[in-house]
Amino acid sequence: VAAAPSGFQPGGRALRLPPVGFGCSRYRDGTYVTPAMGAAVDAGYRLFDTAELYGNEWRLGDLVAAPGGPDRESVFLVGKPWRTNHGPGDLREACTGSLDELGVAAFDCYALHWPGAWAHRGALTRLSERPVEEQERLTMPTAADGTPARAPHSLVETWRRMEALHDDGLARSLGVCNVTLPQLAGLTDAARVRPALVQVECHPYRPRDALVSWCHRHGVRVVAHSPLSAPGLLDEPVVHAVADEHGVSPATAVLAWHCTRGVVPIPSTTTREHVVANLAAPRHPLADDQRDRMAGLADPAFQR
Ligand SMILES: NC(=O)c1ccc[n+]([C@@H]2O[C@H](COP(=O)([O-])OP(=O)(O)OC[C@H]3O[C@@H](n4cnc5c(N)ncnc54)[C@H](OP(=O)(O)O)[C@@H]3O)[C@@H](O)[C@H]2O)c1
């Protein structure tokens, strides 16, 4: 597995991750990225961000198991249980179900998709092949008043169940997504097996500086989800200017910005040229002045 980019010094026992990964989720408009996963394996991606919510773990399993597919130990697999599966039994079933679909014995990192728990409505096996209404019913439980139907599992209680999966060898490391810094610090204090990876929405509009520097001080790797899809980001004049200085596309400049700060972006794409170009972004580290100019895009009020 490739090392982090030079210049980045993770804490002593930090996970070694490839500098860029491939995001396996369906797009926000519902288009599935599944067909591009083969192109990603062929292009040389070795970090895959999967989740039971994405419904296509089986596809990655087929690609890894295929003759000529990548050696299992060369691939870093992140898996994520959906927030309807935090309960006793449900979390373990989600984990073993995902591992079965992937055809592997353990995740390299198993990360809670969200810190908050929702009501369980059934297993999410091969979700992408189910009718859309059933996907919605299973993954977005609603209470009588139309708000999400919550479940009474605290983050620490759910984490104890995650630790048991780690103890049993089903997850080589543990992580958590979509947390605030206070939530992460509190969880870290309470944990016996500490979070080794944190995945959050991160891009130049929302750089998450405090969270990133806390993580790097504590040897926690930060993975940036949705690194390119913030509306307007790829049209920003400063992004174009930095891209032109490197002779690359605006998307490559944004991904290079992540890599230069030691954050691992996991872009998703269905376009073959983008699959290849995104993987090459770490070859274009940004100079300090370029990072400073990109920092001007930070917008504390940014909301999707
Ligand atoms: N943990 C969580 O809660 C969470 C939430 C959201 C996402 N994620 C993870 O993050 C991954 C990525 O997030 P995302 O899917 O929201 O979006 P994203 O990767 O930020 O952006 C995808 C969009 O960018 C375009 N794109 C990709 N490469 C490009 C390039 N080189 N040039 C121009 N456009 C390019 C894609 O279009 P084309 O297809 O045309 O390239 C697509 O419209 C997901 O797949 C998932 O693994 C995790």
**Domain harbouring 146, CATH code:** 3.20.20.100
Torsion of CA 280, 242, 263, 41, to 10 degrees: -20
Task: Output the CA 122–ligand 1 centroid distance in Å.
Answer: 28
Instruction: Please list the rounded mean pLDDT of every run of 10 residues in the chain (304 residues).
Output: 44 86 80 86 97 93 93 97 97 98 97 98 90 93 96 98 98 98 98 98 98 97 97 98 98 98 96 96 97 97 91
Does residue 278 have its Cβ closer than 6 Å to ligand 1? yes
Task: Output the CA 228–ligand 1 centroid distance in Å.
Answer: 6
Q: Considering the domain boundaries, does residue 303 fall inside one? A: no
Helix axes 209-217, 181-190, angle to 10 degrees: 20
Candidate list 27, 32, 54, 110, residue with the active-site label: 54
Does residue 23 have its Cβ closer than 6 Å to ligand 1? yes
Contact 121, 197 (CB under 8 A): no
Q: What is the DSSP letter of 287?
A: P
What is the pLDDT, as a whole number, of residue 7? 43
Q: How many structural domains is the chain composed of?
A: 1
Q: Considering the domain boundaries, does residue 44 fall inside one? A: yes
Mutation probe of ligand 1 site: the residue of 199, 228, 240, 271 with most atoms within 8 A of C-beta: 228
Helix axes 237-246, 288-295, angle to 10 degrees: 160
Q: Which residues pair with 47 in a beta bridge?
A: 76
CA-proximal residue: ligand 1, atom 5 (nearest): 225
Q: Considering the domain boundaries, does residue 14 fall inside one? A: no
Does residue 269 have its Cβ closer than 6 Å to ligand 1? yes
Question: For residue 3, what are the contacts with CB-CB under 8 A and spacing of at least 6?
Answer: 16
What is the pLDDT, as a whole number, of residue 11? 54
Q: Which residues pair with 265 in a beta bridge?
A: 224
Q: Considering the domain boundaries, does residue 304 fall inside one? A: no
Task: Output the CA 160–ligand 1 centroid distance in Å.
Answer: 31
| CA triple 104-107-112, angle to 5 deg | 135
Per the annotation, the verdict on 205 as an active-site residue is: no
Q: Considering the domain boundaries, does residue 6 fall inside one? A: no
Does residue 50 have its Cβ closer than 6 Å to ligand 1? no
Question: For residue 132, what are the contacts with CB-CB under 8 A and spacing of at least 6?
Answer: 30
Cα(199)–Cα(253) distance, rounded to whole angstroms? Answer: 21
| Rg of the chain on CA atoms, in Å | 19
| Distance set, CA 12 to CA 9, 107, 185, 196, 219 (Å) | 9, 22, 18, 12, 6
Could you write out the DSSP letters of every residue in 202-214?
Answer: -BTTB--HHHHHH
Q: Considering the domain boundaries, does residue 220 fall inside one? A: yes
Task: Output the CA 161–ligand 1 centroid distance in Å.
Answer: 30
Q: Which domain holds residue 207?
A: 22-295
Q: Considering the domain boundaries, does residue 241 fall inside one? A: yes
Cα(138)–Cα(53) distance, rounded to whole angstroms? Answer: 10
Q: Considering the domain boundaries, does residue 4 fall inside one? A: no
